[in-house]
Amino acid sequence: MFSIRYVRENAQKIKEGIRKKKVEIDIDLLLQKDERRRKLITEIDNLRHEQKDAGRIIGEKKQQGEDAEELINQMQEIKRRLKASEEELKKLEGEINETLKWIPNPPHPSVPVEESVIKEWGEVKEFPFEPKDHLTLCNAHGILDFPAGARIAGSNFPLYRGKGAKLERALINFMLDLHIKKHGYTEIFPPFLANEKCMFGTGQLPKLKEDMYLIEQDGLYLNPTAEVPLTNMYRESVIDEKDLPIKFTAYTACFRREAGSYGKETKGLMRVHQFNKVELVKFSHPENSYNELESLLQDAEEVLQLLGLPYRVVLLPYDDLSFASAKTYDIEVWAPGLGRWLEVSSVSNFEDFQARRANIRFRSGNRTEFVHTLNGSGVATPRTFIGIIENYQQEDGSIIIPEVLRKYTGFDRIP
RNA sequence: GGAGGGUUAGCCUAAUUGGUAAGGCGGCGGAUUUGAAAUCCGCUGGGUCAUAGGGCCCUUGGGGGUUCGAGUCCCUCACCCUCCGCCA
């Protein structure tokens, strides 16, 4: 969240940002309120000054045993005026604050108007037969059981069975090991629930409230992405400058209500309420954050390269960016059975937007400054699972396991 | 679920019956020095007004109350720690 002062001093940038992200917020009205707010502060400061002076005199008189009644009575009037002004100020600040919460992070200048595919990797191969979609294949092998999932939790809660469960677990372990051993991330296993402050800090709240599962009894939300716990590890803290960049990776289950999104997109593992994801999070010095974004993208891409899955990288246009992101790349895997590209990773630089909301700073000399936070999926499993099933299917319906996963699965094909 | 303890600035730590936040460390600047260490001096968060020197106000986890005046007293909420109970 931007401070009102920042908005005042960067009004044009903020206005352009909300225009690009197609949000409707009246910044001019906000600035008018700010002006009134500052007048009130001056007024209140002056009254308090009077009050403090008088308090000092009363204290002295009382200590010397003198009568201070008259002055004390005069102070009653000051007190009344203070209270009135303070109430108006409080109301005004409440309104200002409420508006500030909804101001999105402006896109980085390099973010385009139109979506652009900046890279394609691997070969979209032609099958000598009609490729089947993953749901058909998985049902045939009994490795996915949606009806059982529905009995337990409802529709679109996947249940993996047998080799399907093993393949899922293998994917997670393979990705974690890659990021830990080769890319130098520190492994974290965080809580899967997080409080409201965390959700506000990373920007899920207030905008995405309806998309999250809330446990009302405890005021806790189910983790929608490991970005939340990982980034909030340093909420309200100060990091040593020499420790930057900090790189964390974690596996978590992710829970999303996906309110109102039932429809064509929900076939099989396409869009589910609970899924697994290995996440990458970085805390960066502001000067380096765009270099860190590029290397984060490479770290995520390498997962797909090693799995031998054809993918492309898309630079999102500015009206597709999330509330908190300044720049985002999506990585999309080719699914021959479904005949389309599937988003498996979203890699973003939030600059200091989340750091402001969560108050995450680093110490530089005798002052503190907000860090830049970044994250990327490294990667989400369901659509990667789809990619493997559909790309590695054979004419007889069996599925070859990619080489790099075999030491984790212990088998090289399904069935 | 029960009982108790705690939260003060980047960090650590004080503050007789309520009297207007004291120190230390770290850091920054300066003096001294061939250089460094040591030593000494100054500064240290936020807001607001002002062209400026600077003024004023706020800041003891959040919110509210009592009072001329609250770190201190009262209420409430959050989080942390310890113990008891329950429990995979």
For the stretch A82-138, pLDDT in tens is 777 877 888 888 888 888 889 999 999 999 999 999 999 999 989 999 999 999 999
Q: How far is the CA of A335 from the C1' of B61 (A)?
A: 51
* Residue type at A198 in one-letter notation: C
Distance CA A284, CA A4 (A): 25
Question: What's residue A249's pLDDT?
Answer: 97
Distance CA A132, CA A284 (A): 43
Name the nucleotide nearest A39; use CA and C1'. B48
Find, among A50, A7, A48, A33, the residue nearest to A89 by Cα. Answer: A33
What domains appear along chain A, each with residue ranges and CATH number?
Answer: 4-101 (1.10.287.40), 116-414 (3.30.930.10)
Question: What's residue A262's pLDDT?
Answer: 64
| Cα angle value A201/A203/A209 (rounded, 5°) | 110
* Strand B contact at CB of residue A368, distance < 7 A: yes
- Per run of 10 residues, the mean pLDDT along chain A (length 415 residues) is 86 93 92 88 80 72 70 75 79 85 94 95 92 95 94 92 97 97 95 90 88 87 94 87 90 87 74 95 93 97 98 96 96 95 96 91 78 94 96 96 97 95
Q: Which nucleotides in chain B have some atom under 7 angstroms from a protein Cβ?
A: 10-11, 19-20, 26-28, 43-45, 47-49, 55-58, 64, 68-69, 78-79
Distance CA A128, CA A133 (A): 15
Question: What's residue A291's pLDDT?
Answer: 96
Q: How far is the CA of A191 from the C1' of B87 (A)?
A: 19
Q: How far is the CA of A200 from the C1' of B69 (A)?
A: 37
* Strand B contact at CB of residue A195, distance < 7 A: yes
Q: How far is the CA of A79 from the C1' of B74 (A)?
A: 21
Q: How far is the CA of A257 from the C1' of B52 (A)?
A: 58
Query: How many angstroms separate the Cα of A37 from the Cα of each of A85, A93, A95, A257, A393?
Result: 10, 7, 11, 39, 65
Interval A375-386: pLDDT, tens:
999 899 999 999
The upper half-sphere exposure of residue A343, i.e. CA atoms within 13 Å in the direction of its Cβ, equals: 14
Question: What's residue A10's pLDDT?
Answer: 87
* Strand B contact at CB of residue A38, distance < 7 A: yes
* Strand B contact at CB of residue A400, distance < 7 A: no
* Strand B contact at CB of residue A3, distance < 7 A: yes
Distance CA A8, CA A27 (A): 9
Q: How far is the CA of A373 from the C1' of B29 (A)?
A: 32
End-to-end C-alpha distance for chain A, whole angstroms: 51
* Strand B contact at CB of residue A54, distance < 7 A: yes
Cβ contacts of residue A99 below 8 Å, gap of 6+?
Answer: A25, A30
Question: What's residue A96's pLDDT?
Answer: 87
* Strand B contact at CB of residue A267, distance < 7 A: no
Q: How far is the CA of A189 from the C1' of B86 (A)?
A: 27
Distance CA A50, CA A170 (A): 71
Distance CA A314, CA A403 (A): 27
Distance CA A330, CA A303 (A): 14
* Strand B contact at CB of residue A114, distance < 7 A: no
The Cβ of residue A3 has, within 10 Å, a number of other Cβ atoms equal to 10
Question: For residue A163, what are its two tokens?
Answer: 């080799």
Cβ contacts of residue A286 below 8 Å, gap of 6+?
Answer: A351, A352, A369, A370, A371, A372
* Strand B contact at CB of residue A62, distance < 7 A: yes
